[in-house]
Amino acid sequence: MASWKTITRRSFLVLGAAVAGGAAFGAWKIAEVPANPLVPGPDSVPLNPWVIINADGVTVIAPRAEMGQGISTTLAALVAEELDVDWQQVRVLHGPPAQAYFNAGFVDRMSNEPDFIVSQRPKSHNAILAAVPKILSLQMTGGSTGAIGGFVQMRLAGAGAREALKAAAAKRLGVAPDTLKTEGGKVIGEKTFTYAELAAEAADLVPGDVTLRDPSTWRYVGKAMPRLDMVAKSTGTEVFGIDTWLPGMKFATVRMNPRRGGAMKGFDPAPALAMPGVAQVIGLGSGIAVVADNTWTAMQAAEAVKIDWAEADYPADTEAMMTRIEAAFATRPDSRMRDDGDVEAELAKGPVSGAVIEAEYRVPFLAHAAMEPLNATAWLKEDGSLEVWCGCQAPIMTRDACAAALRIDAEKVTLHVPVMGGGFGGRTDPVPAVLAARVAAAMPGTPVKVTWSREEDLTQDYYRPAAIARLSGRIEGGKATALWGRTATPSVTRNALARLVGFAPPGPDRGSVEGGFDQPYGLPNYRYDGHVADLTVQLGFWRSVGNSMNAFFLESFIDEMAHAAGADPLAFRLDLMRDTHAPSAQLLENVREMSGWDGLKRPGYGRGVAFCYSFGTPVAEVLEVQQTDAGIRLTRAWIACDPGLAMDPGIVEAQMTGAMVYGLSAAVHGAITFADQQVVERNFPDYDALRMPTTPAFEVAILQNNGSFGHIGGVGEPGTPPAAPALANALYDLTGIRARELPLNRQFSFAG
């Protein structure tokens, strides 16, 4: 097992090159090269922050967290590609909190221009380097950036380790390194050495220039690799955070103020303490924790505690919140990130051999509802150090938040990041780790695992905000001539960053309008405005963030425009896209062909198409629905996506399918509502999702036309945004009823 218990100050040149991109890398330094956080263990030698050589293979340290998206497998494959190890020799671990594991992929998320424009431009190395200091502490998994950030970095880590091992062998043999070969975890020359034999010597050698291999020679990258976690996840042997097991540990749960952010006026622990097996009730300011000898008893006892809650600072119910959101339309737009042509003049022309249409759409708050409820385990040791186990997307921030909560130095906190039973953006906040740390501080010397009940997980989530959109469009002669979209919603980014880092970022809020302003539709007059609503409900990043709402608004409205124009909805989109972004238009052609889309109406069936370019990857989806005696069924789905480079097509297919299921689940069932300032939906019966009988059959096409200039798109989120509008458009095709509000089960009867 690799060891990373303390921090050494060795610096590694390979990182400096890692951010530069391109093909050949010189050994040069940026101002501050992060230290290697790994230290040698009894049978393991770290060659750099990402590669540990063990007696029987290699352990790859993944800088991104595994939430199910398969990133650990892809990152390991990138290392293995250059390191010349067999796949069976590869294991993967999550890295400790350290700057070395910053996410270079976030460079791609720092522009306010539409992705489809940025992706057609060569990357500027200077711009990337300038951005590095801003992201150096961003050891963050999110934004569908993992494989993008790792693409160069992980291959360089593998190549650098390989060259160091070759240099060690060359020294032993007294030959030049370039006379040696590597294969199957061995350096081969006139004698053959295993990597393990050479590792200790290689660790002291700094590799010179390395050249990354040509893609035509790849053995692992670009192939569907067997996931490194698959056997463990099929045998119950994977250790999720909730499975953390320590000798002598206690089990706890929390019950926090259901009026979010409100304080606790007082509590009476007596009914809980009277229950057998209950050890302690701990006040946490805005809630309580109960410690017991098993989790179930802790959860029963937490319900028994009598608590006097203070109020929250947001409106009482959903209706009042929607009124607050609607009021934002009367405020000056926060952003106008697209303003092509003169949309007002065009709309003012009115209907001339066509139409001017307007529509308003609404979407609700949504919870993440990952299968593994929130949890964290913490242990305050006698020497004052704290050890924490928490599946989280932002380890440095989480570690620092634990340290701050206990008023100890960050160096005294060791944070382990186990794999997560789903994330979807819902494990960004450090709250579980911080609350567990505070519980542990109340019982020094005893490890304690804190598990959220499903009810706490759902009602204490950080939600995808509700939103309202108003769109206007003009059609003339069967063509779209103008589109003006306006979205009103509270800002996730400002809400979350104010909470997480203490300040809201300046500038227009891209998240409110992404998926609306940035689509490759070549309308001559195209404007998109964001109106940021003043609402303090706890918000968080939900798979595809703003795209999840704006794609529903825009793609539903484009459909309405197509029908108003008397055009086929797929052909109507193609006409708008063909000259703007060819790889996107190609995807519409693909789903047309895959689904046999002919624009004809079949009795009892409906079809809808939708498109969204998000996180660097355009995705087109077609969904088919069927009216049955039991209700409407989602029968078949076709997805075409283009991430530029599909590093692992098996994982890309899984992510596209899963992301569409996630979006469809929300579209059919998902709504978080408030009454008396409290979330009404408490468990899966109130917040259901697609299940085996209600999930359509899928066909996925993965294209790689969007990779000019080295562009690579993300794959974890882009499948979600088109799901809801594809379904709403299919329902219109089936029933003639236009859905302008989610979830759809309020308006349509679906088969169970």
Partner 1 sequence: MSITLQINGKPHEVDLPGEVPLLWALRDGLGMTGTKFGCGVAACGACTVLVDGEAVRSCQLPIGEVTGAITTIEGLGQPGNLAPIQAAWVRHQVAQCGYCQSGQIMQAAALLAANPEPTDQDIDAAMQGNLCRCGTYPRIRAAIHEAAAMMKAG
In the three-class reduction of DSSP (H, G, I as helix; E, B as strand; rest coil), residue 151 is classed as helix
Residue number, 402 or 458, with CB nearest to partner 1: 458
71 vs 93: CA distance, rounded Å: 11
CB 580 within 8 A of CB 611: no
Spell out the residues 6+ positions from residue 707 whose beta carbon is closer than 8 angstroms to its own: 644, 645
In terms of residues, how long is the chain? 752
Residue number, 217 or 237, with CB nearest to partner 1: 237
Spell out the residues 6+ positions from residue 702 whose beta carbon is closer than 8 angstroms to its own: 641, 642, 643, 646, 649, 652, 653, 656
- Using the Cα atoms of residue 323, residue 326, residue 328 and residue 334 in order, give the sign of their dihedral: positive
Our separate counts of H helices and E strands in the chain read: 21, 29
245 binds partner 1 per the rule CB under 8 A: yes
425 binds partner 1 per the rule CB under 8 A: no
Kindly give the interhelix angle for 723-735 and 649-669, rounded to the nearest 10 degrees: 60
10 vs 64: CA distance, rounded Å: 22
176 binds partner 1 per the rule CB under 8 A: no
331 binds partner 1 per the rule CB under 8 A: no
Residue number, 627 or 695, with CB nearest to partner 1: 695
| Shortest CB 55 distance to partner 1, Å | 19
CB 351 within 8 A of CB 345: no
Interacting span for partner 1 (CB under 8 A) from 101-109, 233-241, 519-527, 707-715: 233-241
- The single residue among 136, 168, 402, 419 that binds partner 1, judged by CB under 8 A, is 419
Residue number, 451 or 495, with CB nearest to partner 1: 451
- The single residue among 18, 52, 67, 620 that binds partner 1, judged by CB under 8 A, is 67
Number of residues located near partner 1, criterion CB under 8 A: 67
| Shortest CB 298 distance to partner 1, Å | 9
| Shortest CB 385 distance to partner 1, Å | 25
Interacting span for partner 1 (CB under 8 A) from 337-345, 468-476, 661-669, 707-715: 661-669
306 binds partner 1 per the rule CB under 8 A: no
Interacting span for partner 1 (CB under 8 A) from 559-567, 577-585, 682-690, 739-747: 682-690
Write the interaction track for partner 1 spanning residues 454-493; mark x where CB under 8 A is met and - where it is not: x---------------------------------------
87 binds partner 1 per the rule CB under 8 A: no
> Of 351-370, which residues contact partner 1 (CB under 8 A)?
369-370
Write the interaction track for partner 1 spanning residues 274-303; mark x where CB under 8 A is met and - where it is not: --xx---------------xxxxx-x----
| Shortest CB 373 distance to partner 1, Å | 7
- The single residue among 53, 104, 242, 585 that binds partner 1, judged by CB under 8 A, is 242
Phi, psi of 46 (to 5 degrees): -80, 125
CB 744 within 8 A of CB 690: no
428 binds partner 1 per the rule CB under 8 A: no
- The single residue among 472, 495, 590, 657 that binds partner 1, judged by CB under 8 A, is 657
448 binds partner 1 per the rule CB under 8 A: no
| Shortest CB 296 distance to partner 1, Å | 4
Interacting span for partner 1 (CB under 8 A) from 21-29, 468-476, 593-601, 685-693: 685-693
| Shortest CB 441 distance to partner 1, Å | 22
- The single residue among 3, 89, 635, 695 that binds partner 1, judged by CB under 8 A, is 695
Strands 697-702 and 631-641: parallel
| Shortest CB 234 distance to partner 1, Å | 4
- The single residue among 21, 57, 63, 70 that binds partner 1, judged by CB under 8 A, is 70
Spell out the residues 6+ positions from residue 242 whose beta carbon is closer than 8 angstroms to its own: 372, 373, 375, 421, 449, 451
| Shortest CB 614 distance to partner 1, Å | 18
658 binds partner 1 per the rule CB under 8 A: yes
- The single residue among 31, 604, 692, 736 that binds partner 1, judged by CB under 8 A, is 692
Cα angle, residue 556 at apex, residues 554 and 558 outer, rounded to 5°: 65
217 binds partner 1 per the rule CB under 8 A: no
Using alpha carbons, select from 149, 132, 123 the residue that is nearest to residue 22: 123
223 binds partner 1 per the rule CB under 8 A: no
Residue 390 amino acid letter: C
Residue number, 223 or 479, with CB nearest to partner 1: 223
| Shortest CB 276 distance to partner 1, Å | 7
Can you read off the two tokens belonging to residue 97? 């909190």
- Using the Cα atoms of residue 594, residue 598, residue 603 and residue 608 in order, give the sign of their dihedral: positive
| Shortest CB 108 distance to partner 1, Å | 23
Cα angle, residue 94 at apex, residues 91 and 98 outer, rounded to 5°: 135
CB 371 within 8 A of CB 443: no
- The single residue among 236, 248, 603, 736 that binds partner 1, judged by CB under 8 A, is 236
Residue 328 amino acid letter: A
CB 376 within 8 A of CB 246: no
- The single residue among 46, 105, 373, 465 that binds partner 1, judged by CB under 8 A, is 373
231 binds partner 1 per the rule CB under 8 A: yes
Scored b (16 or more CB within 10 A) or e, 343-366 reads beebbeeeeeebbbbebebbbbbb
| Shortest CB 468 distance to partner 1, Å | 27
Residue number, 50 or 462, with CB nearest to partner 1: 462
In sequence order, the β-bridge partners of residue 253 are: 290
Residue number, 107 or 651, with CB nearest to partner 1: 651
CB 433 within 8 A of CB 374: no
661 binds partner 1 per the rule CB under 8 A: yes
- The single residue among 127, 232, 345, 630 that binds partner 1, judged by CB under 8 A, is 232
Question: How many CB atoms are located within 10 Å of the residue 381 CB?
Answer: 14
| Shortest CB 236 distance to partner 1, Å | 2
Interacting span for partner 1 (CB under 8 A) from 75-83, 227-235, 506-514, 597-605: 227-235
Using alpha carbons, select from 5, 451, 525 the residue that is nearest to residue 244: 451
714 vs 720: CA distance, rounded Å: 12
751 binds partner 1 per the rule CB under 8 A: no
Residue number, 243 or 317, with CB nearest to partner 1: 243
Give the CA distances from residue 278 to residues 100, 257, 281, 443, 450, in Å, rounded to whole numbers and listed in that order. 43, 21, 8, 14, 14
Using alpha carbons, select from 374, 383, 378 the residue that is nearest to residue 441: 378
| Shortest CB 692 distance to partner 1, Å | 4
Q: Show the DSSP H helices in 449-501 as ranges.
A: 454-459, 492-501
Burial of 340 (0-12, 13-18, 19+ CB in 10 A): middle
123 binds partner 1 per the rule CB under 8 A: no
Give the CA distances from residue 477 to residues 72, 355, 481, 484, in Å, rounded to whole numbers and listed in that order. 52, 9, 9, 19
Kindly list the residues in this chain that would bind partner 1 in the complex (CB under 8 A): 67-70, 224, 226-227, 229-240, 242-243, 245, 251, 276-277, 293-297, 299, 369-373, 419-424, 451, 453-454, 650, 654-655, 657-662, 665, 683-685, 689-693, 695, 697-698, 752
